Structures are given as C-alpha cells and as structure tokens.
Amino acid sequence: MKGKTLKEIIGTEERSLYRLISLIAKLSTQVREMIPKELGFAGGINPYGEKQLQIDVWSNDLFTKKLLRSGLVKRLASEEMEEVAEAKAGEYSIVLDPLDGSSNLKSNNLLGTIVGVYREKPLPARGRGLHAAMYFLYGPYHQLVLALHDGVRTFAALGRGSEGTRFISDGLVRQLPKPPTVYGIGGLREKWTPRVREFVESLEKRKMSLRYGGSFVGDYNQVLTKGGFFAYPELTDAPDGKYRLQFESNPVSFITEKAGGRASTGTGSILDIEPSSIVQRVPTYLGDSDLVQEFESLYHSKSQPA
C-alpha cells in the first residue's frame, strides 16, 4: 500500500490548515535535529517554577517566532510562556508544549512536541473547540500523530522532497486496538489515591503490561499503538495532577476521542472543561473507552458516602 503525504490528505481540502501543519512539521524536524546539540541547562525557570532546559527555550522561541510571523497564527499560548502572544493577523490560535518530557533528555529517552489548533478562538479555550491536534514523537523515527475532523493518522518523516521533509501516512486509526494490553500511570505511587491504586491493581490482574517512560507523548503512543490505559492521575498532594489542560491534556484528549477512545478527568470529559486560566492543570485518564469508563464508575462509587 502506498502511503499518502500531508499534501494529499489536507492540501486540497483546507489549504491554510495544510500550510500551518506543514510549517509546524518542518519546525519539528529542526527541533529533532537540534536535540543532540543542545544538552545542558539554560538556568531559566518556566511559569510553573520548573527548571527549563536549553532546548526548551530554543524550541519555544523557534515555534513562537515562526508561527506568529507566518500570517496564519493570530494567538499562541505555550507551556513555556506566562502570557498569550499575539500577531496582527491570522486565522488560527495555537496551544503548544514545545518540548514535552524534557527531563528525558539526559537519559536519551523519548521526547515530543504537542500542538492544538483552534480557528478564530480566544485563549484559553475549551478542548471541544479544537479544529485539529497533533504530537510529534522524537523516537527511533520521527513520527507525527495528527487528529483532524475525520479521525487520527500517523505519519513517519521519510527523507526530503522538494518541499522539505516528507511526512507519509499509512492510514486512519479508526479504533484503539482491542483488547487493551498496556498501561502507564504517572506520579509517585505513594501519592496515588486509593481508587487509582485499586484500578491499577485490577489492570495488573488482567495481565496488562506496564509501560512507563516518563514522557507523556511517548507513553501515550504506546496506548494508541497497542490499546490500553494511560493516566497522570489526581495525587494526594496534587488533586489536579500535573498536566496542563491547554497544552497537554486537551490536544491529546482530542486525539484520543478521534481514535474512538475516552479522555476523562475521572468524572467527565476533559474536552468539556471550561478553562479558568492558561496554566490550569487537570487529572488526566485516557485510552480504551471501556477501561476509562470503568475507572469513572469506580471513581463515582468511591465518592459516595458509605
């Protein structure tokens, strides 16, 4: 079967979206090439008080400047910035985690970039309003996972054509694989709430395999490929977990729902949260619909008074 290029998939249908996604894809190839060259600390601190690695700063500058100067993007919010940046004109609003999993850099494990695309929307925005969402995975090969209105496609970056690196897709992901076989849960085990522990025990009893590498896109991609459950859950000292609604949870939840899975806060859909701020966090449970629903029902039953 011959794969299709980004241009063949969206080029004719939505010209400006194609230009935007091609630009983001091109920038992701620059990030991937820069990763081995940029080891070390910049000494900066991001809005959440976390130490920024040099490549975080570099990637953020790259995406921000190029996207805001493209004429396509009017607003851009990034995990590495405190305020929404604006350009004079543009059809799209972008939410961005320029380098997800950056603490994996030194150990040479997976890293990625997460992007959500809105049309004509002020930020922060509800995930339900996303027009497209994607992540890039800087792994053994450079992968793009892209959710559009009609579903999710995975692409591999395969050599250079006349218009730069070619991203080739092998088709639509219609359904997360069944039966689910893998799971990953973030956060310290001792900080998991009783219901999270109980659910993890039940997954282990079903002989599902633990896959946890410490980068959201890397760990989530296991679920997309093999079927399963991934969470960065509520913690006893952090009821909202770790992930940022705008930059991490919403785009990957959009991808999950477009792949026929479920994306939950533990009580309802992540995509329906009305955001209160750019920096808001949310407990995040993603993957196989039946498993996520099962977790939600446990959540409800455990919330009831005895």
Min separation Cβ 216 and ligand FDP, Å:
4
Min separation Cβ 15 and ligand FDP, Å:
33
Binding part of the chain for ligand FDP, among 65-73, 80-88, 98-106, 168-176 by CB under 6 A, reads: 98-106
A 10 A CB-CB count for 82 gives 11
Q: Can you tell me which of 98, 124, 180, 187 binds ligand FDP, judged by CB under 6 A?
A: 187
Q: Is 58 in the site for ligand FDP (CB under 6 A)?
A: no
Binding mask 193-222 for ligand FDP (x = CB under 6 A): ---------------------xxx------
Q: Is 167 in the site for ligand FDP (CB under 6 A)?
A: no
Min separation Cβ 171 and ligand FDP, Å:
27
**Distance, CA of 138 to chain centre:** 13
180: Cα within 13 Å, side-chain hemisphere? 27
Binding part of the chain for ligand FDP, among 3-11, 61-69, 96-104, 171-179 by CB under 6 A, reads: 96-104
d(CA 255, CA 65): 26
Instruction: Report in angstroms the alpha-carbon separations of 218 from 86, 95, 213, 230, 244.
Output: 30, 19, 7, 11, 17
Query: Residue 259: which residues within 8 A CB-CB, separation 6 or more?
Result: 147, 151, 152, 173, 174, 175, 176, 224
Residues at the interface with ligand FDP (CB under 6 A):
100-104, 186-187, 214-216, 232, 242-243, 248
